[in-house]
């Protein structure tokens, strides 16, 4: 998203990165502070994305993907996402 803002790919947004504020924190510090937090295991706007609010579910995050320098959908990633969505639908139906 930040790259899209920087390169002008967001219709109507023309200010670049100058007005953006980046907040950086260690997950352990946030947890120990008692602050509420959320995280997802996928893109925040995708309908199949699941949201979590506790450290017990950190294993749901695809950490290999998180540490990639660039993210994009490949055939393998799209197939993996479909498999995850199908499994969720099966669990909800049972």
Prediction pTM value? 0.59
Specify the pLDDT at position 32: 93
Q: Please count the other Cβ atoms lying within 10 Å of the Cβ belonging to residue 10.
A: 11
Taking 70 as the pLDDT cut, the residues of the chain under it are 73-75
| pLDDT of amino acid 20 | 84
């Amino acid at each position: 998203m930040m790259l899209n803002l920087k390169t002008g790919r967001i219709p109507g947004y023309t200010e670049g990165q100058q007005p953006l504020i980046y907040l950086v924190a260690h997950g352990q510090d946030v947890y120990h502070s008692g602050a509420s937090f959320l995280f997802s295991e996928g893109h925040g706007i995708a309908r199949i994305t699941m949201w979590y609010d506790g450290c017990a579910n950190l294993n749901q995050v695809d950490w290999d993907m998180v540490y990639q320098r660039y993210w994009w959908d490949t055939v393998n990633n799209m197939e993996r996402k479909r498999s995850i969505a199908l499994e969720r639908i099966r669990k909800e139906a049972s």
